[in-house]
A and B are shown apart, each in its own frame.
Chain A
Amino acid sequence: MTKFTDHLGRPVVAVTGIGVVTSLGVGKKDNWEALTAGRSGIHPITRFPVDQLNTRIAGTVDFLASSSKGASALTYELAETAAGEAITEAGFTIDDFGGPLFLASPPVELDWHDRLALYKGGDREPASDRLLEVARNLNSLEMFDSAQFASIADRLADRFGATGLPITLSTACASGATAIQLGVEAIRRGEAQRALSIGADGSATAEALIRFSLLSALSTSNDAPEKASKPFSKDRDGFVLAEGSAALVLESLESATARGATVLGIIQGCGEKADDFHRTRSKPDGSPAIAAVRAALADAGLGEDGIDYINAHGTSTPENDKMEHMSLSTVFGEHINRIPISSNKSMIGHTLSAAGAIEAAFSLMTMREGVIPPTINYDNPDPAIALDVVPNVKREASVRTVLSNSFGFGGQNTCLVMAREPV
């Protein structure tokens, strides 16, 4: 008989639907084919001119109808596309999901082109007064919505029939994992039988790129875009800005079983720990990341020998990969030598607010398919990082459990433990 509660007596949370969009394509099938073939989605930027820019490559999603319509419109379409795939797979009515929505998405700002349009609509000085005057006369609900933080989730809740007040959240690069964690917690507390967790990020604008550039966070390997993201390599020189989305339908195992749904995996544990060290750098001793991993293992009821594969945060920045290696070595001790660890970001880049959700989706597929996607561009290993990174070529393996790491700017760290089957 299947046990519907976990080691702490809480409802077991299953995944019954998965949707994903990255620069590699729309949907699980295309993404999985590309990912296991070791193909990169990183390419030269064409969305905006790259004059003056140090970084001229990205993993933008250029093939959706909203790809050129600004961050807000694209983020919505990314979220909607992934959620549609997930809800359909789970077998729920597309416009009557009937559970709460948790959305990880980038902070919104008025698009520069809207700002410019407002400026051109009047002649008052100073410019800031003019924008206000033109804005109120124009009274464009569309422009207003694009600059409201709650709009995307509100529209998604309408589109899919989500219940209650949808939560939009940001824990920087950990956001996608936090969205899943919030859904898991709602089910564990008995507030919901099912939840829709989405991470979506379509915010690769020129200004976003420049901001990360000014923080020296981005790779400048412009000449060979597909080679630019090289986690755990000695010559890694920053992350590659990217876009994408993933959605998970989370459901109590009991509810999923009762309606005969296919269980795609289990979210077994979530752990988090904030860093108090610095706004962009993590604590040199790795203690917050270590604590987050340990909290996730404890929440999952697993020891340091309980993880078969690690889906790394693996951003390809000099600092993250070093810190992640040290933290994992500390937590797993000698076990780390036998645990394969790979970074999806080597192929899709860093999808920021969506990363935790996309990488959770790929982790679940890794277990289901019995294939570990590689870390590509591993041509020049960093001798200081002794890990089995599943270099360059996919690997068949029976994977029962995965740890997925997400470590954010601003010190927000979230780790998820997923399992192929209920314990």
Chain B
Amino acid sequence: MSARDVVITGIGLVSSLGEGADTHWQKLSASGTKPVIDAERFAPYTIHPLPEIDWSLQIAKRGDQRQMETWQRLGTYVAGLALTDAGIKDNEDLCATMDMVVAAGGGERDVAVDSDILAASVQRDDFDVLLNEKLTTELRPTLFLAQLSNLLAGNISIVHKVTGSSRTFMGEEGAGVSAIETAAARIRSGQSTHMLVGGAFQTEHPDMLLGYELAGYLHRGEWKPVWQRQGAEGGGIVSGSGGAFLVLESREHAKKRGQRIYATLGPVASGRARRGKDELAAGIGKLLDTIDAPENGLLAISGASGAHKATATEKAVIDARTDIAARAFSTLTGHLKEAQFPFAVALAALAVANSAAYPPFEAGEKAFDGPLKSVLATTIGYHHFEGMALVSASD
């Protein structure tokens, strides 16, 4: 144990299951929790929708809410939950010195404007001129800001006054892995004492589905749990709206202010297996070695997306390690893209803090009654990049 250990002192979560760390623990640790899904709105795709949220609970000013679309609102809201949970919200000094890394994709485009442009294109052979005509007259000036990746962090600074530093990493699941890895490295090196790190994903927008479907990654047809989608129609991913933010601190900083510690964030490892060269299985094995995963029974919170190839590879590696019992939480939340790894780490921390395992999230997952001193969090990207972390009891 060292003063510069990285400890988790705040967790903010939102998914289709509800909001808050405790709600998620209650629902996910109970047997038989059913996923909340919507198979109609975006048929043939199923999604896990956002729960009802009273935005004003974390974003007091209506003006601030109006400046954002749902994705930024969601991220700002979840960040607020994490800050509140860590006892930092509204503490001006702590917020002003807090560093932030946000994992972000892009925000929502205006579907009506885009559809209008496409419809008008049928009558025109000068598409680029049409584009200028429509965009100059129909785009809302503020929408651009709602789409910018770095403006989720910008809004968190504005709404919650987190201003030590602000960085945004982009790039699907890998962005979430790097965000946590970098945040932990900064605390361990003494470069930062407390950090806000996480991300959000708002899937209820056709462009957010299109991002996956350009390569046919979405599952179609009847909903199935994550590990059971191989061979089913489509590409295996069922996406969800949600977000996860963590407050990470040095142990010394957390103890000095008497803050409850959920768990210690141990080693974090990341990788870029060249999947075209079939390196993924070896890459996952290497990550397990790097974080020195215990071999006497290990609960793994898996961020498996359901994407056929990546998920089958992860499953094969985990099945070969008979001591690992995996829980693929996307069965209950849907795939949360940039927020996937922060969500996995948060669920691992909750299991450690409660000294209790999650029951299987689907029929095929093994029961687990082994030690809970350390819990593994994995995220194998649906298309590229992968990461793992080991989350351990604080003392």
Contacts and interface: CB of A to CB of B under 8 A. Distances in A.
Given A52-B132, A107-B148, A107-B170, A132 B210 contact: yes
B40 to A, nearest CB: 13
B157 A214 contact: no
Interface string A388-401: 00000000000000
B141 interface: yes
A109 B147 CA distance: 10
B163 A115 contact: no
Contact of A165 (B129, B155, B165, B387): B387
A1 interface: no
B177 to A, nearest CB: 6
A171 B206 contact: no
Nearest to B107: A107
Given A178-B167, A412-B153, A158 B274 contact: yes
Contacts of B127: 112-113, 116
A140 B167 CA distance: 32
B136 A116 contact: no
A262 to B, nearest CB: 29
Given A135-B213, A410-B151, A274 B178 contact: no
B293 interface: no
A276 B163 contact: yes
A276 B158 contact: yes
Contacts of B133: 51-52
B131 A206 contact: yes
Contacts of B355: none
A119 B121 contact: yes
Interface stretch (A89-97, A123-131, A360-368): A123-131
B157 A115 contact: no
A214 B163 contact: no
Interface string A293-317: 0000000000000000000000000
Given A185-B186, A274-B164, A411-B166, A132 B213 contact: yes
A287 B171 CA distance: 31
Nearest to A153: B171
Interface string B50-72: 00000000000000000100000
Interface residues of B, number: 78
Contacts of B114: 115, 127-128
B377 to A, nearest CB: 16
B207 A110 contact: yes
B320 interface: no
Contacts of A337: none
A103 to B, nearest CB: 9
Give the residue among B104, B164, B206, B214 with the most A Cβ atoms within 10 A: B214
B214 A144 contact: yes
A127 B115 contact: yes
B274 A274 contact: no
A141 B136 CA distance: 31
A191 interface: yes
Given A148-B172, A167-B182, A169-B167, A52 B136 contact: yes
A2 interface: no
Interface in B156-197: 157-158, 161-172, 174-175, 177-178, 182, 185-186, 189, 191
B105 interface: yes
Given A49-B132, A129-B206, A172-B150, A136 B213 contact: yes
Given A51-B133, A148-B172, 16 more contacts: A52-B132, A107-B106, A107-B147, A109-B106, A132-B209, A139-B214, A149-B149, A150-B175, A164-B270, A167-B171, A185-B191, A189-B191, A207-B131, A210-B135, A273-B165, A411-B154
10 contacts: A50-B132, A119-B121, A148-B211, A150-B385, A153-B171, A206-B135, A210-B135, A214-B139, A273-B165, A279-B151
